[in-house]
Structure 1
Amino acid sequence: MYWLQVYAFYAPVAFPPGQEILLTPIASDQPEAIVANDVTGIDADSSPIRFRACFTTPLSLSMLSESYKPYTDPVPLNGPGWFDCYNAGEIDGALEKGEALAFLSQAEIHPGVDRVVAVFPDGRAFAWHQINACGDAQFNQRDLPAGCPPVSEDQ
């Protein structure tokens, strides 16, 4: 059972050239590709929040902050230990200290789930999927906050 949880469901993610990592601009809700190098990622069909990715970007934090939507309350989720480029504790600590910044990559990448990107000043960057306020309310059977997309019966 341990092997199934830690290894079996994950698969490498294919990132189409020029579309590797997307961020949502401040002036739009349409995500756009940013410069991303050495992108590697994993995902699993068994859960919408198993996605993790690591990459580097030459874009500065000031440029990113002026151009892309920040992500409020980012919470990097732990990944499997064997995906060693991604360390949720390190990312979370840097975000809490203001040493890294989080941005909205794609809202509602799955119903109730956003893709989040955190970038460090040295260009290291990480992405994960996080349950958003709509998903939290839905999964905990509470009233949906204003602005949430309607929930279909098959979700």
Structure 2
Amino acid sequence: MSGKIIAGGIVVLSIIAGIAIYYLQVYHYYEEVDASGEQVMLTLLYGAPEPILAEGIEAIDATSSPIRYRACFTTPMSQAMLTETYEPYPQAEPLNAPHWFDCFDSQEIGLALEQGEALAFLGERNFAHGVDRVVAIFGDGRGYVWHQVNEEMKK
């Protein structure tokens, strides 16, 4: 009988731990960023990052990791103008966002990048040590930002 109680206790504790870990990873560490102070930056082809025209910025971040930043915005700037002015980011791989941050769909962004419907640009190299800020912009002006581990950290 005591074996069943111990096994039941282990199962209950495992369920509680699983729920806690899920909550911490998906909800607790993330917080919405005050968009009034946010700017979307792109790195010039032969220069430093500069702000671009961006409207309707929604962003989330977490202090627990430098790669948890995600943002969505719109821009009136054309892809043609952007490619002539800003540094491309060919190894862009959008990271998943929590399901409740529904403006950011990493699968849609990744597929659009593969098919050429969206273009990726370097927002800022080494935004945090070994982490680049990447910006993807669709032809219709929708834009997305995330942090991605760069080659320095992959070595």
Scaled by the length of structure 2, what TM-score is found?
0.84
Structure 1: which 5+ residue stretches go unaligned?
Answer: 138-155
Separation in structure 2 between the aligned mates of residue 60 and residue 92 of structure 1, nearest angstrom: 20
Quote how far apart the aligned CAs of 1:15 are. Answer: 4.0
Match of 1:78 among 92, 96, 116: 96
Separation in structure 2 between the aligned mates of residue 27 and residue 6 of structure 1, nearest angstrom: 38
Q: How does 1:20-59 map to 2 (within 5 A)?
A: 20-28=39-47, 30-59=48-77
Quote how far apart the aligned CAs of 1:136 are. Answer: 1.3
Equivalence for 1:7: 27
Separation in structure 1 between the aligned mates of residue 124 and residue 46 of structure 2, nearest angstrom: 14
Separation in structure 1 between the aligned mates of residue 139 and residue 151 of structure 2, nearest angstrom: 28
Quote how far apart the aligned CAs of 1:73 are. Answer: 0.9
Q: How does 1:92-107 map to 2 (within 5 A)?
A: 92-107=110-125
Structure 1 residue identity aligned to 2:30: Y
Equivalent pairs, count: 135
Quote how far apart the aligned CAs of 1:13 are. Answer: 1.6
Root-mean-square deviation (CA), in Å? 1.0
Where 2:83 maps in the other structure, the secondary structure is helix
Scaled by the length of structure 1, what TM-score is found?
0.84
Structure 1 or 2: larger helix share?
A: 2
